[in-house]
Structures are given as structure tokens and as C-alpha cells.
């Protein structure tokens, strides 16, 4: 990330290597987003889909925030009782590099 910040400062940002970006999205969601602190709003689910084919879901509730990698299309998804694996309240789509760096791919 620090290399990317320096590249932005120079006006020449580069995408991260695919595997590093995919690992980064997974790590960010599981370490920075996951918490046992209560979500103070209505429960919500947010999906993150990469153009490289991996997807994750972030659940936000009174129990906190938790994440899981979504299965590939056509496979079964293990959910807690009452959760609809197909319903997300919001989603983000883009390359893993763009999702990790939360930038507009059209910049």
C-alpha cells in the first residue's frame, strides 16, 4: 500500500499484482472489518465481487461484523438460520486491486 501511495503522489499509480490484491481484500475484510462490536443500525449484508472471480460477504448486525468467502456460482453456501445467501443490501464490484485500494477504476 505504501508503494501505491508513493505512486499516487507521483501521478503514476499501478494496480497491485492479482494474487497480492486478492489476499489483501481477504485480509482487510477478515481483520479490519470483522468485530464483535455491535453494528448500531439495521442488519445488513454487503458483497464484494472481484473480476478475478472471488467474492466475499460482510454481515453487519447486533452481534458485530463477520465475513466469509462466497462460494463459486452453482455451489452450496453454508449460512446461519434465516440468512438468505442470495440477498445482499449492497455490493461492490471491481478488480481486487481496485476494491482493496477503494478507488474509481475510471480515474
Which of residues 81 and 62 earns the better pLDDT score?
Answer: 62
C-alpha grid cell, residue 60: 453487519
Cα angle 77, 62, 80 (rounded to 5 degrees) comes to 20
For the chain, the structural domain boundaries read 16-101
**Best CA proximity match to 24, nearest among 95, 105, 104:** 95
Tens digit of pLDDT for each residue in 28-59? 999 999 999 999 999 999 999 999 999 999 99
Which of residues 84 and 66 earns the better pLDDT score?
Answer: 66
pLDDT at res. 43? 95
Amino acid at each position: 500500500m505504501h508503494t501505491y501511495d508513493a505512486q499516487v503522489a507521483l501521478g503514476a499509480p499501478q494496480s497491485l499484482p492479482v494474487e497480492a490484491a486478492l489476499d489483501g481484500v481477504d485480509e482487510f475484510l477478515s481483520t479490519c472489518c470483522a468485530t464483535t462490536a455491535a453494528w448500531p443500525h439495521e442488519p445488513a449484508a454487503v458483497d464484494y465481487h472481484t473480476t478475478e472471480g472471488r467474492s466475499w460477504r460482510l454481515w453487519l448486525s447486533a452481534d458485530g461484523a463477520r465475513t466469509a468467502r462466497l462460494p463459486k456460482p452453482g455451489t452450496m453456501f453454508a449460512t446461519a438460520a434465516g440468512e438468505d445467501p442470495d440477498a445482499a443490501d449492497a455490493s461492490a464490484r471491481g478488480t481486487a486491486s481496485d476494491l482493496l485500494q477503494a478507488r474509481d477504476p475510471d480515474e
